[in-house]
Structure 1
Amino acid sequence: MEFFKSIGGFIMTPLYLAISAILLGWHKLWGGLFGDTTGVAWVLSIIGLTLVIRALLIPLFVKQIKSSRNMQLLQPRVKELREKYGHDRERFAQEQMKLFRETKTNPFSSCLPLIIQMPVFLALFRLIDQAAKDPSVERGLMTETLNRQFGDAVFLGAKISDTFLNTDSIGVRVLAAVLVLSMTATTFLTQRQLMSKNMPADALTGPYAQQQKLLLYVLPLVFAVGGIAFPIGVLFYWTTSNLWTMGQQFYVIRNNPAPNTEAFRAKQERDAEKRRRKGLADPAAPDAAASPTPLATEETRTPARQQPRNQTRSQRKKGGSKPGAPRVHPTTPDQGDNS
């Protein structure tokens, strides 16, 4: 048991240091405006901490989006492999991993931001919890004085360290319930936004789709049940993180959607409307300038000059010259007299 505690301390100590440094950096700013001991200053500091963490996770989020998109687009090929090797699970797994390697797709990348955030979440939870229960325990840069300010700070009638379960105050429970519902709703809407807007029809069937549907309903339920034990400050962190995810995901889906999805078709319509407003030609339409232009129509074509028929000298004497008749200019030597 001591071994696991030492491992946990080795992992968490740097996190306590980093998180407390970011938190206190924001607190120095907001504390100067609203007062060091106010709940507003500490709540805004938690929100600032959230924004910094999420900004640092943007590269992982980009990798998550690419991996998720590749997984969606590969579903028809995975389905073909399942039909071909469904009787041999080992061969199917080998071919599937080979497909993932060839397309540089990591099926676990979609979980990376959540996995990375969990230690941060746990560290913040421990900072707030210990600040309320035992302020004398200093973690990271949090001194005993700062712990007391942090644990006792009041926002909207509730301490940042209060939870739905450890209070008898109706106001605190209402605030906690609102934050738990907000956290649950934003988790659900974020996942639903991805499935309804940025997943092609082929990707809505099969094991990957079932996994996404499972996360759609199970993950919010887990947060709803666990959220009643989270301190108010942690609920602010997770709700802000979900709102960031929704906004970030909305931007990516709107501007760089996966092919053959509802978001992709909506982007094509917006682009076409922009071109119409600017008076630009639609690139999907045939290029009229590139099509061959007819040289002349039957009505506008200039009649070709009629060439005279070759005649012998005797034929010309016999026919004579008629008024209005075209003048004949022989172009070949006379051969009729030699016959």
Structure 2
Amino acid sequence: MSFIGDIGHFIMVPLYYVISVVLVGFHKLFSTFMDPASGAAWALSIVGLTLVIRAALIPLFVKQIKSSRNMQLLQPKVKELQKKYGHDRERLAQETMALYKEAGTNPFASCLPILLQMPIFLALFRLLDQAAKHGKAHGVLNETLAKQFGNSELFGVPIAGTFLKADGDHGLQVLALFFVLAMLVTTFTTQRQLMTKNMPASAMTGPYAQQQKMMLYVLPVVFAIGGVAFPIGVLIYWTVSNLWTMGQQFYVIRNNPVPGTPAAEAKAERDKHKAERKALKSGAPVQVDGLNETAAATEEPKAQPRVQPKKQTRSQRNTKKKNPPNNRS
């Protein structure tokens, strides 16, 4: 146990310093115009901590998106391998991994942001829990700040409190359930957004699709069950992190969708309308039902000015009367 404890200590101590530096930094900022001991100041500091961590994980998120995108595009080839080597699971696994390697993708890359956040999540949980119970200092969070952090209240509810240990505190139970439900909804919405908008029809069947469908319903339930045991402060971190993921994914799907998906069709339609509006403003040719028409053609034709007859001399008028046009040969 001592060996495992030493490893845990080696991993957690640097995280305590990183988390406490960011947390205390934001707390000092909010303390300039808020009560330092208030739960609102500490809750906003947790929000700031979440945003900093998620911003730092953007490169990994980009890698995750690329990996997920490549895996979706490879699903037709994976199905061919399944038909060819379905009777030999070992050979199928080898050929599938070779296909992923050739395409430069890793099926485990999609889990990196979650896996890297788990130690941070655990460190924040322990930091808050020990601050509330013992006023224990971690990193730059000294004992005074630790006690203040552990005893702070948000809407009259301790941010170190949990649903399971509410001891009849209905306010604590309601606030904890609110964040648990918010966590559940944001997780479900993020997964459903990925499946319904950014997955081609060819990827909607097979093992990958089954995995996505399982995650769609299982992950929110797992988070909800685990969430009732987490402090309010940790639930704030988790909910804000989910909102970041949902917004980040919405932006990527909208602007860089997988080809052959509903999101790609929607983007193509938006780009078409944008090009037409730009052409109308510049007067350039616009593609309308397969024909090139100029923006000027959409305007109503202007009335042509009346041409006045040329003034004639008296001798010319007399000659015209003597020789009308219908009598000329």
TM-score by length of 1: 0.82
Figure out how many residues of one structure are paired with residues of the other and give that number.
Answer: 288
Question: What is the rounded CA distance, in whole Å, between the counterparts of 2:208 and 2:288 in structure 1?
Answer: 34
**Preserved contact between residue 272 and residue 282 of structure 1 (Cα < 8 Å):** no
One-letter amino acid of the structure 2 residue matched with residue 138 of structure 1: A
1:219 maps to which residue?
Answer: 219
1:97 maps to which residue?
Answer: 97
Q: Deviations over 1:21-80 (max 9, x none)?
A: 010110110111102111111000000000000000000000000100111110000000
CA 1:141/1:173 → structure 2, altered by over 3 Å: closer, same or farther? same
Report how far residue 257 of structure 1 moved.
0.3
2:122 maps to which residue?
Answer: 122
* Same amino acid, percent of matched pairs: 64
Matched, 1:148 2:151: no
TM-score by length of 2: 0.85
Matched, 1:10 2:10: yes
**Preserved contact between residue 151 and residue 161 of structure 1 (Cα < 8 Å):** yes
Larger of the two Rg values belongs to structure: 1
One-letter amino acid of the structure 2 residue matched with residue 40 of structure 1: A
Question: What is the rounded CA distance, in whole Å, between the counterparts of 2:288 and 2:111 in structure 1?
Answer: 38
Question: What is the rounded CA distance, in whole Å, between the counterparts of 2:292 and 2:260 in structure 1?
Answer: 28
Question: What is the rounded CA distance, in whole Å, between the counterparts of 2:38 and 2:248 in structure 1?
Answer: 31
One-letter amino acid of the structure 2 residue matched with residue 178 of structure 1: F
Question: What is the rounded CA distance, in whole Å, between the counterparts of 2:191 and 2:13 in structure 1?
Answer: 32
How well do the aligned residues superpose, as a CA RMSD in angstroms? 1.6
1:275 maps to which residue?
Answer: 275
Question: What is the rounded CA distance, in whole Å, between the counterparts of 1:71 and 1:87 in structure 2?
Answer: 23
**Preserved contact between residue 179 and residue 235 of structure 1 (Cα < 8 Å):** yes
Report how far residue 95 of structure 1 moved.
1.2
Secondary structure at the residue paired with 2:106? Answer: coil
Q: Deviations over 1:246-265 (max 9, x none)?
A: 11000000000000000000
Question: What is the rounded CA distance, in whole Å, between the counterparts of 1:284 and 1:47 in structure 2?
Answer: 49
Question: What is the rounded CA distance, in whole Å, between the counterparts of 1:7 and 1:282 in structure 2?
Answer: 66
Question: What is the rounded CA distance, in whole Å, between the counterparts of 2:85 and 2:71 in structure 1?
Answer: 19
Alignment of 1:1-339 (within 5 A): 1-135=1-135, 137-167=136-166, 168-279=168-279
Question: What is the rounded CA distance, in whole Å, between the counterparts of 2:292 and 2:50 in structure 1?
Answer: 54
Structure 2: give runs of 5+ residues left out of the alignment.
Answer: 294-329
Q: Deviations over 1:248-290 (max 9, x none)?
A: 000000000000000000001111111111225568987969x
Question: What is the rounded CA distance, in whole Å, between the counterparts of 1:2 and 1:278 in structure 2?
Answer: 68
One-letter amino acid of the structure 1 residue matched with residue 161 of structure 2: D
One-letter amino acid of the structure 1 residue matched with residue 142 of structure 2: T
CA 1:283/1:112 → structure 2, altered by over 3 Å: closer, same or farther? farther
**Preserved contact between residue 275 and residue 281 of structure 1 (Cα < 8 Å):** no
**Preserved contact between residue 286 and residue 292 of structure 2 (Cα < 8 Å):** no
